[in-house]
Amino acid sequence: MNSTPLTAIAKRHGPRYNADLALWSQLEEATMTQRAYNFSPGPAVLPEPVLAEVQRDMLALPTAKASILEISHRSKTFKEILAAAEANLRQLLSIPDNYVVLFLQGGSRLQFSMVPMNLLEAGHTSADYLLTGSWSKHAWKEAQKAGDMRVAWDGADGNYTHLPAAAELKVDPRAAYLHYTSNETIHGVQFATEPAVGHVPLVCDASSDFLYKPLPIERYGLIYACAQKNSGPAGVTVVILRKDLLQRSRDDLPSYLNYRIHADEGSLMNTAPTFAIYVVRLVTDWLLNEIGGLEKMHARNESKAKMLYEVIDASDGFYTGHAQADGRSLMNVVFRLPSEGLTKKFVSEAEQQDLTELGGHRSVGGIRASIYNAMPVAGVEALRDFMIRFRDENAS
By annotation, the residues acting in catalysis are 135, 205, 229
Closest-CB residue for ligand PMP? 107
- Which residue of 11, 79, 109, 124 would you call a contact of ligand PMP, by CB under 6 A? 109
End-to-end Cα, the chain, rounded Å = 52
Total chain residues near ligand PMP (CB under 6 A): 11
Tell me how far, at minimum, the Cβ of 210 lies from ligand PMP, in Å: 10
For residues 10 and 375, which CB has a smaller minimum distance to ligand PMP in the complex? 375
Residues in the chain: 396
Q: Could you tell me where the DSSP H helices lie in the chain? A: 5-12, 15-18, 21-34, 48-59, 76-93, 107-119, 134-143, 259-264, 274-286, 294-313, 340-352, 377-394
SS3 81: helix
- Asked if 357 is part of the footprint of ligand PMP (rule: CB under 6 A), the reply reads no
Alpha carbon 322 to chain centroid, angstroms: 20
Task: Identify any residues that bridge with 126 across adjacent strands, giving them in sequence order.
Answer: 148
Rounded distance between C-alpha atoms, residue 69 and residue 184, angstroms: 33
- Which residue of 17, 24, 103, 135 would you call a contact of ligand PMP, by CB under 6 A? 135
Residues 66-105: x/- map of binding to ligand PMP (CB under 6 A)?
----------------------------------------
Tell me how far, at minimum, the Cβ of 108 lies from ligand PMP, in Å: 3
Tell me how far, at minimum, the Cβ of 332 lies from ligand PMP, in Å: 9
Tell me how far, at minimum, the Cβ of 185 lies from ligand PMP, in Å: 3
For residues 185 and 274, which CB has a smaller minimum distance to ligand PMP in the complex? 185
Tell me how far, at minimum, the Cβ of 192 lies from ligand PMP, in Å: 16
Tell me the residue type at 330: L
Alpha carbon 58 to chain centroid, angstroms: 24
Tell me how far, at minimum, the Cβ of 100 lies from ligand PMP, in Å: 20
CB contact at 8 A, 297 and 372: no
- Which residue of 7, 88, 208, 274 would you call a contact of ligand PMP, by CB under 6 A? 208
- Asked if 258 is part of the footprint of ligand PMP (rule: CB under 6 A), the reply reads no
SS3 237: strand
- Which residue of 117, 149, 211, 226 would you call a contact of ligand PMP, by CB under 6 A? 226
DSSP code, position 179: E
Tell me how far, at minimum, the Cβ of 89 lies from ligand PMP, in Å: 18
DSSP code, position 100: E
Rounded distance between C-alpha atoms, residue 313 and residue 307, angstroms: 10
Q: How far is CA 21 from CA 2, 3, 9, 31, 157, in A?
A: 10, 11, 10, 15, 59
Stretch that binds ligand PMP, among 107-115, 123-131, 242-250, 276-284 (CB under 6 A): 107-115
Residues 30-69: x/- map of binding to ligand PMP (CB under 6 A)?
------------x---------------------------
Which residues 6+ apart lie within 8 Å of 63 measured at CB?
77, 80
- Asked if 108 is part of the footprint of ligand PMP (rule: CB under 6 A), the reply reads yes
For residues 44 and 64, which CB has a smaller minimum distance to ligand PMP in the complex? 44
Furthest C-alpha separation in the chain: 68
- Asked if 7 is part of the footprint of ligand PMP (rule: CB under 6 A), the reply reads no
Give the chain's radius of gyration (CA, Å).
22
Which residues of the shown chain bind ligand PMP in the complex (CB under 6 A)? 42, 107-109, 135, 181, 185, 205, 207-208, 226
